[in-house]
Amino acid sequence: MNAVTWKGMAADADARTGTMTTPHGDVMTPNFMAVGTRATVKTIDTEDLDRLEAQIVLANTYHLMLRPGEDVVHQLGELHGFMAWGKPILTDSGGYQVLSLNPKVTEEALVFKSSYDGATVELSPERSVAVQEALGSDIAMMLDIPVALPAERSVAERVMHHTLRWAERAKAAKRRHDRALFGIVQGGADPELRAISARETAQIGFQGFGIGGLAVGESRIERSKAIAPCIEHLPTDAVRYVMGLGDTEGILDAVAQGVDLFDCVLPTRVARHGKALTRDGDISIKRAEWADDANPIEAGCPCVACRRYSRGYLRHLNRTGEVTGQRLLTLHNLSYTYRLMGDIRHSINHGSFAAFRDDVLARRKSGGDNSGTS
């Protein structure tokens, strides 16, 4: 029996809603995962996430295997007990973070220097699965090899086949039947390579599928062209997850193509730099015009930052470097993102997604500012 399943509920053209069932509860899709890199979402805690009605979070394998180590996390109740979070958790494979360290890529593993103490570390498909199973996440991701874009076709093709070989090894290494392992589709921005990767990854067989190697600087058109063949060749009864995508426009584009799941540091990272996400465009709380503004960030937003505090106060916190300001903007940006996902699901269920998408894109294009730091 599969540890994680997905059941469709409604469709509006290619956009779809569904329920992903996991050992720690259900996730309504499309949905967004806040990134809890070191078993915490920066500046907030799991009670905050409960109040925001978050349904699933992501944790980072690379950082946790090095600090405090998967054995410590396992002894302290696996990730759910360790971070006091009773809902679903997905862990990434660690490969994306390792690649920023310029590792040696061999057939067997990624070999790199730890960013903590400089020690030599090897991360293989088997090791990545074992670490994630010790962490106890509901969903583990196979170790893949992303390729920086733009990339020569020959490079993207070589890396894609390398990732497919590692997919076979990752599946063979899986030991826990009570947890799921997702495959990952690569292929750069080349639609033909994406089709091959999706088809062959699906044939290997996983309980869900990540679409990796995107949201790394490619245009919206390039991304959509890369996603399309993945959707065409992946099973219709499994989760489709675009990894690392979290901006409003990108989410709406991908949902329109049939994507179910997203993650990104964007909502929390830009909050720490003073940017607030709103339906009428993103704003920088640093702007002098907000100094004596008594209005909330976004009228009608139910988050604590908007219910209790003014733009003027939040600007004051940002200008004086108060951590409370980062926390409040983080809570707002996550509230915005979760409300966006809820509205997306509602519109799909009622056959009005296209109109909803057009309205959001038009409002954001006409409002906000570009002065925040991302």
For residue 156, what are the contacts with CB-CB under 8 A and spacing of at least 6? Answer: 147, 186, 187, 188, 189, 190, 193
What local confidence, expressed as pLDDT, does residue 372 receive?
A: 36
Confidence check: pLDDT of 50 > 50: yes
Residue with tokens 């590692």: 166
* Average pLDDT for 286-294: 98
Q: Are 110 and 98 in contact (CB under 8 A)?
A: yes
What local confidence, expressed as pLDDT, does residue 307 receive?
A: 98
| Residue range 201-234, pLDDT digits in tens | 999 999 999 999 999 989 999 999 999 999 999 9
Confidence check: pLDDT of 331 > 50: yes
Whole-angstrom distance, CA of residue 34 vs CA of residue 54: 8
SS3 175: coil
Domain boundaries along the sequence of the chain = 5-264, 273-359
Cα distances from 223 to residues 21, 244, 245, 252, 260, in angstroms, run 28, 12, 10, 12, 16
- For the chain, the average pLDDT equals 96
Task: Indicate which residues carry an active-site annotation.
Answer: 92, 263
What local confidence, expressed as pLDDT, does residue 373 receive?
A: 35
Whole-angstrom distance, CA of residue 112 vs CA of residue 32: 30
DSSP 111: E
Within 10 angstroms of residue 145's Cβ, the number of other Cβ atoms is 22
Whole-angstrom distance, CA of residue 227 vs CA of residue 15: 13
Q: What is the band of 94 on the pLDDT scale with cuts at 50, 70, 90?
A: confident
For residue 342, what are the contacts with CB-CB under 8 A and spacing of at least 6? Answer: none
Q: What phi and psi values does residue 105 have, to the nearest 5 degrees?
A: -100, 110
DSSP 235-272: -TTSEEEETT--SHHHHHHHHHHT--EEEESHHHHHHH
Whole-angstrom distance, CA of residue 277 vs CA of residue 310: 15
What local confidence, expressed as pLDDT, does residue 99 receive?
A: 75
Cα distances from 55 to residues 51, 85, 264, 291, in angstroms, run 11, 10, 15, 35
Q: Give me the CATH topology for the region 5-264.
A: TIM Barrel (3.20.20)
What local confidence, expressed as pLDDT, does residue 280 receive?
A: 96
* Average pLDDT for 105-117: 94
